[in-house]
Amino acid sequence: MVRRLKRTVRRFLAARGYSVSWSLPWQIAGVHLEADLPRIIEEDNPIILDVGANVGQTVDLMLKLFPNAKILAFEPASEPFTVLTAHYGDRCQRILKIALGDEDGVQTFTKYSSPEYSSLHTFHSDASQHEGIANIQVVGSEEVTVRTLDSLWPELGVPRIDLLKIDTQGHDLAVLRGAASLLRSGLIGAVLVEVMFLNMYSGEGSWLQIAQTLESAGYKLVDFYEKHRAGHVLSWCNGLFVLEPSRS
């Protein structure tokens, strides 16, 4: 009787676009990032690097999950940096107007009419496969400072990184390559990184390259979150990777 009732409830919810999952309080369910991340990061005051912070969407989430978190946010573009500083300047440990990548220098940051797509890369010719991309136009550009996380590390003044979050619109692999020494040092506990399964930006790193880079440094995939699709095909999502206990 109970099983039949459960099946009926699941079917009722599924017909309306909902699903039900069950897990023990200490187990990873692989459904909602907000539920799993506190099970991965057990520090009371974790040190979090938000690379590609935009106007603070992830900062806001992290402060809700970890009220005592020490957040260092990176945003190279002038307009979102101004908004980010105004809203979270007193809640982040530091907000830096720089981009992270695989070499120190200056690069051109392309601004799109939908700012969340702005990037150090331009759209790939196949980007129109992604819903809504066709109507997005270039509206400007600016030169931004780029640093590797390895070279910047001595200036940050933190002893470790509990979570490295990377959402840089096609530049994510470059950020990881610029943090190669830190990744292998065991000083980064977990990595949350955007991965693309369809071509979005010219010169972007593939999801396989990102996974191999992290795997070679001793990180294992926890799960994929916030999945987006182009029809039936997975187009992009966020991958959560954690350092193997033997490497930490």
Domain boundaries, the chain: 24-247
What confidence score (pLDDT) does residue 78 get?
96
Taking the C-alpha atoms of residue 122 and residue 215, their distance in angstroms, rounded to an integer, is 28
Phi, psi (deg, nearest 5) at residue 238: -110, 130
Q: Please determine, for residue 138, whether its predicted confidence score (pLDDT) is greater than 90.
A: yes
Segment 36-53, tens digit of pLDDT: 999 999 898 999 999 999
What confidence score (pLDDT) does residue 242 get?
97
What confidence score (pLDDT) does residue 167 get?
97
What confidence score (pLDDT) does residue 1 get?
60
Query: For residue 103, what pLDDT band results from cuts at 50, 70 and 90?
Result: very high
227-232, Cβ contacts within 8 angstroms, sequence gap of 24 or more: 230/129, 230/130, 230/131, 230/198
What value does the mean pLDDT take over residues 78-96?
97
Per the structure block, which two tokens stand in for 124?
């790939």
Estimate the crossing angle of helix 78-88 against helix 57-65, to 10 degrees: 30
For tokens 């470790």, what's the residue? 160
What confidence score (pLDDT) does residue 10 get?
62
Predicted TM-score (pTM) of this structure: 0.90
Average pLDDT of the chain is: 90
Taking the C-alpha atoms of residue 245 and residue 248, their distance in angstroms, rounded to an integer, is 5
Query: For residue 127, what pLDDT band results from cuts at 50, 70 and 90?
Result: confident
How many CB atoms are located within 10 Å of the residue 135 CB? 8
Reading phi first (left if > 0) and then psi (alpha if -120 to 50, else beta), residue 145 is in beta
Query: For residue 245, what pLDDT band results from cuts at 50, 70 and 90?
Result: confident
For tokens 């309080």, what's the residue? 25
Of 75 and 130, the structure prediction assigns the larger pLDDT to 75
Considering the domain delimited by 24-247, tell me its CATH architecture. Answer: 3-Layer(aba) Sandwich (3.40)
Region of poorest pLDDT, from 91-105, 110-124, 126-140 = 126-140
What confidence score (pLDDT) does residue 126 get?
82
Region of poorest pLDDT, from 93-97, 134-138, 218-222 = 134-138
Segment 151-206, tens digit of pLDDT: 999 999 999 999 999 999 999 999 999 999 999 999 999 999 999 998 889 999 99
Phi, psi (deg, nearest 5) at residue 207: -60, -35
